[in-house]
A and B are shown apart, each in its own frame.
With several copies, the nearest count.
Chain A
Amino acid sequence: MNLNVQLFAVARDWAGRDQIPLELPADATVERLRRELDRVVPRLAESGVRFRIAVNDEFAADHQQLHENDSIALIPPVSGG
């Protein structure tokens, strides 16, 4: 399936763009997507910090199954307020 990952803040700077299109197996989980992002944006893995991933506006666990048309975002450590 094809998925689009929204990027914010330092992750967007590292990737040099605000979204990344990914092609993943139909049964891919959040964990699988994370590995793919680490490959495309090496600084994510190098940072030593696991960024949270949101699926359809909720934080997602690594084992969560993804589906076509899911809205996905990479969430670097937050600093709102």
Chain B
Amino acid sequence: MIEVTNHKIDTNKLLADVQSPLAGAVVLFVGTTRQLTDGRETASLDYECHESMTLRQFEKLRQEATRRWPILQCGVIHRIGRVEIGEASIAVAVSSPHRADAFAAASWLMDEIKQQAPIWKRENWADGSSQWVHPGLDGPGENLADTAEDAT
């Protein structure tokens, strides 16, 4: 299951999707909207993506993970649009016979997705301002992120 959705992420569906009778381990990662970043309060996040490319990148990463580790199933769901505090923006699940592989693959997938998927978030700060988050990009202008890296 590879999906980009406007709706709340259904982690049960994802867990069910990666199940296998050969699996001894399932690792689920859920990325949620954090209220505080370096002491500054977030009200919500807005995500947008280049959808066809995102789906393609997810599929390539899934294939690469399956090549690198002896995993059974692997799924990714990313939410776009408004995501409130505590809600999930991404869920990744991996099943494998042995747990070390599921942990390694899920962690690697998250690292890669954060580098390779054409998805962007906009922080809506509690003080009413908002800005795109573009790691490595800073400079003048109300739309520039003031953090050099994405911190989740």
Contact = CB atoms under 8 A, between A and B. Distances in A.
A73 B90 CA distance: 23
B52 interface: yes
Contacts, number: 96
A9 B132 contact: yes
B49 interface: yes
A80 B117 contact: yes
B91 to A, nearest CB: 11
Interface stretch (B14-22, B65-73, B134-142): B134-142
A81 B139 contact: no
B132 A73 contact: no
Which of A10, A57, A58, A78: most chain B CB closer than 10 A?
Answer: A78
Interface stretch (A21-29, A32-40, A47-55): A47-55
B78 A80 contact: yes
Interface in B108-152: 110, 113-122, 132-137, 139, 141, 143-145, 150, 152
A68 interface: no
Interface residues of A, number: 24
Interface in B17-45: 31
Interface of B: 31, 47-50, 52-54, 56-57, 78, 89-90, 110, 113-122, 132-137, 139, 141, 143-145, 150, 152
Interface of A: 6, 8-10, 13-14, 43, 46-49, 54, 57-59, 71, 73, 75-81
30 contacts: A8-B48, A9-B48, A9-B120, A9-B132, A9-B134, A10-B134, A10-B144, A14-B143, A43-B141, A49-B134, A49-B136, A49-B137, A57-B53, A57-B57, A58-B56, A71-B52, A75-B50, A75-B118, A78-B116, A78-B118, A79-B114, A79-B120, A79-B132, A79-B133, A80-B78, A80-B120, A81-B90, A81-B110, A81-B150, A81-B152
Leading 6 A-B pairs by shortest Cβ distance: A80-B119, A9-B120, A79-B133, A57-B53, A77-B134, A81-B114
Given A8-B120, A80-B90, 6 more contacts: A9-B122, A48-B139, A78-B118, A78-B134, A79-B114, A81-B31
